[in-house]
Amino acid sequence: MIKRSIAAAVGVAVLAATPGVDGATKKTIALGDNYYAPKTLTVSRNTTVTWRWPGFEEAGDVHDVKLKSGPKGVKKFHSEGAATDYEFKRKLTVAGTYKIVCTLHEEMTMTVKVRK
């Protein structure tokens, strides 16, 4: 049983950081009840970040993803509010620090640092 759990965790980690055709990567953030996981993330430029809400069986509160602050020149973004089976993607092309917040739960925050 432990081996199966470890194998599943490794599989999730591999899916969360998948190299793209052009060398860019993809990262997935899980939304839970009042948290983003992981809470902090460091990625390379041109990484597509996907925020993924849980499936129907794990439904919770409605949450959203809003760029509270970011590097100079980055256009603000804001997802729809959802509780289940939704995902929101953004390709982060500008190096710097991105502060993310759920507008419905101000204590629900995360930071994404994009390297040059």
CA distance 43 to 75: 18
Mean pLDDT, to the nearest integer, of 17-34? 73
Provide the pLDDT for residue 24.
Answer: 56
Q: How much is the pTM? A: 0.78
Asked whether 102 and 108 are in contact (CB, 8 A), the reply is yes
In this predicted model, what pLDDT tens digit does every residue of 43-73 receive, in sequence order?
999 999 999 999 877 778 999 999 999 999 9
Q: Assess whether the previous peptide bond of 38 is cis (omega < 30° from 0).
A: yes
pLDDT above 70 as % of the chain: 79
For tokens 């994009």, name the residue: 114
Asked whether 98 and 111 are in contact (CB, 8 A), the reply is yes
Secondary structure element (H or E) that encloses residue 54, with its range: none
